[in-house]
Chain A
Amino acid sequence: MLIKQKLEESFFKILMVISTIFVLGSLLLILGTVLWRGLPALDLAMLTQAPQGGYYLGKEGGILNAILGSLCLAGGATIVAVILSLPIALYLQLYPVPHFTKNWIRLSLDILWGTPSIVYGAIGFTLMIYLGMRASLLGGIIVLSLLELPIMVRGMEEAVSMVPKALLESSYSLGATRFETAFKVVVRQTLPGLITAILLAFGRGIGDAASVLFTAGYTDNLPTSLLRPVASLPLAVFFQLGTPFPAVQDRAYAAALVLIVLVLGLSITSRLLSTRFTKNIIR
């Protein structure tokens, strides 16, 4: 009996270790594959030039249009999302919200989080046609900001919920209104947490392809206007991979490498920020 028990125990333990290694191995495999195929194809010209004529046939040029486009798209979307989600997060955490309303808002944010990005793209495109807009930077920013919103609210709420009660109470006791407390005390106190949330949302925004496929379009030009189409890195990867020329496909791998470096860099930065950058924090 006891031997059987021990066997079962070690059998499952080995199984668990194997699956953990499998999961972590898949991460390494993904990073390794992109690094291994992307690095040889990456050069300075790719990062500093827009596509020239015949770029998609393997001639010279780069993906500067996509890099800048992605930064504009995700940057703009993140700014809009901050403006929308900071008040929501503060409202949910600091104001007397009825229990039912609070749960409803949280549930709908969770559902928004789970909505596939292709659905965002389809709805965004439909509304843009209705309004007579064409695929443009502005359209991409609006759709991406909605995509980023739930992540940001969730992250900000978590940060705000960490504020000690005593701090709020001392602010109230000095005669500050809730509005003043929220925006002058809490925001300052939770800045690292808020920035973590913002960077996480930025990372999701910059990596999303399906939602900007129709709303932002694609172009070989650098982004100049809110009302013109704009290129983005995920779509650069996708389109270049779709061409039949190996040289161009190599560039897709390089673009993927740029994208993943950006995203992982952001994610690691946000992780470091959440432990540092605590100048104004009262503990």
Chain B
Amino acid sequence: MNEKSKFLKNREKLSRHHTKSFSKLSRDRKDLAAHKAMRALAICVSILVPVFILVLFLRARPILATHNISTLLFSTTWRPNQGSFGFFPFIMGTLWVTMVAMIISVPLSLLTAIYLAEYTRPKVRAFIMPLIDLLAGIPSVVYGIWGVLTVVPFIQKVVMPSADRWLGFSPLFQTSNPTGYGVLAGGIVLAVMVFPIIIAVSEEVIRTVPLGLREASWSVGASRWQTIRRIVLRRAFPGVIAAVMLGFSRAFGETMAVLMVVGNVVQIPHSIFDAAYPLTALIANNYGEMMSIPLYDAALLGAALILLLVVLTFNIGSRLVLARISYS
């Protein structure tokens, strides 16, 4: 690469100084101009995220100036009309839904990824992977429709009665909200939405583990599963964590599908059947009328800022881990 670029630079210099033909010169000028334009474009795009953060910060500043950050984050009263903006119920709503989604999704996705990477024949894998890609392409409103039509009735008619019978002693499974719209419904829908991300990334990571490590393990008599658990997964661990983090950040920022099944009641959920109100739903539901109440728009953009910062942190973390894996 370096040699090539040196060669190219050299060639450019040569053609700029020694060329006789005017047309070649003008073509080189064009090349140079195009180079500069492309670089400018690429750099413009690469500062978009900082610009996003800046815009959100500037627009959220009125509320950051008048309210304490810790009251904003940890106060539970949300009464925009009276000027009190506590994000805590929404943050908890997002966390509950996301955690339920991860608890469901991570084991299933990892087992699937291991199966695809280690056990299946290439033909079967070539059949299954495109299907999982299809899952990634389904629009979020369709997930929402599926949630409303299938997941919510399933929770209401099947999960809740059995939870009542066997798990009623635990506050985590209290069925005080009989509608079925709630944390668990949002969690299940999100879990399915993040399947493709976690599966695709962790499968790739597992496949980068060198074959020699496996062979060494098999040759000393370890079984396939033992090799996977003790050798392959240990080696792939950082990448798998990165995959899970990517899934987490996707679930954290998902809006439409969650909005449709999660119930949207401003409260801190205490049971997986309670309705919740995630940050994303807060923004989507209230953005239209925010102009009528003072500070409301600043509060909503503050919510967007929180969302962006959390997702950003997880994204950067996982990308850095993944980049290091692909270089080694």
Instruction: Give the total number of A-B pairs whose CB atoms are below 8 A apart.
Output: 267
Q: A91-B42, A234-B139 are in contact. Are A125 and B112 (CB under 8 A)?
A: no
Partner-binding segment picked from B61-69, B165-173, B211-219, B221-229: B221-229
Using a Cβ–Cβ cut-off of 8 Å, how many residues does chain A contribute to the interface with B?
Answer: 85
Instruction: Select from chain A the residue with minimum beta-carbon distance to B4.
Output: A96
Interface positions, chain A 229-275, Cβ under 8 Å from B, are: 234, 237-238, 241, 252-253, 256, 259-260, 263-264, 267, 271
Q: A112-B49, A119-B308, A238-B260 are in contact. Are A177 and B42 (CB under 8 A)?
A: no
Q: How far is the CA of A17 from the CA of B280 in the complex (A)?
A: 35
Q: How far is the CA of A88 from the CA of B138 in the complex (A)?
A: 27
In the complex, B210 has a CB within 8 A of chain A: no
In the complex, B70 has a CB within 8 A of chain A: no
Q: How far is the CA of A187 from the CA of B23 in the complex (A)?
A: 23
Binary per-residue interface labels of chain A (172-195) against chain B in the complex, 1 for a CB within 8 Å, 0 otherwise: 100101111000000000000000
In contact, A207 and B139 (Cβ under 8 angstroms):
yes
Using a Cβ–Cβ cut-off of 8 Å, how many residues does chain B contribute to the interface with A?
Answer: 91
Q: How far is the CA of A34 from the CA of B108 in the complex (A)?
A: 24
In the complex, B195 has a CB within 8 A of chain A: yes
Partner-binding segment picked from B155-163, B177-185, B266-274, B282-290: B282-290
In contact, A19 and B48 (Cβ under 8 angstroms):
no
Q: How far is the CA of A58 from the CA of B254 in the complex (A)?
A: 30
Which residues of A lie under 8 Å from residue B46 when comparing CB positions?
104-105, 108-109
In the complex, A118 has a CB within 8 A of chain B: yes
In contact, B131 and A115 (Cβ under 8 angstroms):
no
Interface of B is mostly: helix
In contact, B319 and A172 (Cβ under 8 angstroms):
no
Instruction: Select from chain B the residue with minimum beta-carbon distance to A99.
Output: B1
B110 to chain A, nearest CB (A): 8
Binary per-residue interface labels of chain A (86-113) against chain B in the complex, 1 for a CB within 8 Å, 0 otherwise: 0110111001110001011101111110
**Which of A123, A210, A267 contacts B56, CB < 8 Å?**
A123
Binary per-residue interface labels of chain B (31-68) against chain A in the complex, 1 for a CB within 8 Å, 0 otherwise: 10011011101110111110010011001000000000
Q: How far is the CA of A20 from the CA of B147 in the complex (A)?
A: 20
Q: How far is the CA of A115 from the CA of B11 in the complex (A)?
A: 41
Binary per-residue interface labels of chain B (242-276) against chain A in the complex, 1 for a CB within 8 Å, 0 otherwise: 00001001101111100010000000000000000
In the complex, A59 has a CB within 8 A of chain B: no
Which residues of B lie under 8 Å from residue A39 when comparing CB positions?
none
Binary per-residue interface labels of chain A (64-102) against chain B in the complex, 1 for a CB within 8 Å, 0 otherwise: 000000000000000000001001101110011100010
B20 to chain A, nearest CB (A): 13
B60 to chain A, nearest CB (A): 10
B283 to chain A, nearest CB (A): 5
B325 to chain A, nearest CB (A): 14
B40 to chain A, nearest CB (A): 10
Q: A91-B38, A241-B148, A267-B133 are in contact. Are A256 and B45 (CB under 8 A)?
A: no
* Sample of 26 A–B contacts (CB below 8 Å): A5-B226, A9-B226, A15-B111, A16-B114, A20-B128, A23-B108, A27-B135, A34-B142, A92-B42, A96-B9, A107-B319, A107-B323, A108-B45, A108-B46, A115-B52, A118-B284, A119-B253, A122-B301, A146-B48, A203-B137, A210-B256, A214-B288, A234-B140, A253-B149, A259-B139, A260-B138
